[in-house]
């Protein structure tokens, strides 16, 4: 994202893994960006309401015991009108094999959009993630906006 939208110079990253946060810092280093990194879970964020201009999460919700709680927290921290980009796993034969290994459950699209609406998100729609068939079949990208 930072490479595609270079005018955005301030990033905040969260993860429950210190190792992933260290990897994030390494990935940002060549761009001369020092992201604010915080070890926490998206279902209990330590940020004020209406803090962020945008939020993005990738393959997180399907790992949570209550993905709705994660969506509510992300939405709470967004400024009104701000976008939330969510990437989730879709069910396909390959992800069916991965579910036990990675301990996740794909979220059906109708359930995901219902959770998003209940969290206070509007104008929900999918976006093209990739033209590569196996990537397109395994993941879904959905964008919505805080009401």
| Residue 145 φ then ψ, to 5° | -130, 140
d(CA 22, CA 36): 11
Structure tokens at 81: 């009108």
Strand order in the sheet with 83-89: 55-58, 83-89, 139-146, 121-127
pTM, two decimals, is 0.85
pLDDT in tens, the chain (147 residues): 777 777 777 899 999 999 999 999 999 899 888 899 999 999 999 999 999 999 999 989 988 889 999 999 999 999 999 999 999 877 655 555 555 655 667 888 999 999 999 999 999 999 877 777 766 667 789 999 999
| φ, ψ at 52 (rounded to 5°) | -105, 145
């Amino acid at each position: 994202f930072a490479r595609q939208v270079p005018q955005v110079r301030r990033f905040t990253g969260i993860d429950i893994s210190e190792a992933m946060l260290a990897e994030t810092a390494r990935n940002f280093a060549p761009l001369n960006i020092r992201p604010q990194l915080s070890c926490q879970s998206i279902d209990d964020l330590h940020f004020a309401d209406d803090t962020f201009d945008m939020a993005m999460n990738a393959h997180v919700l399907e790992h949570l015991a209550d993905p709705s709680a994660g969506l509510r927290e992300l939405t709470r921290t967004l400024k009104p009108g701000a976008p939330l980009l969510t990437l989730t796993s879709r069910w396909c034969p390959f992800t069916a094999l991965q579910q036990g290994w990675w301990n996740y459950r794909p979220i059906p699209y109708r359930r995901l959009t219902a959770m998003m609406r209940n969290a206070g998100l509007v104008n929900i729609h999918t976006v093209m993630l990739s033209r590569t068939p196996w990537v397109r079949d395994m993941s879904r990208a959905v964008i919505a906006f805080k009401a």
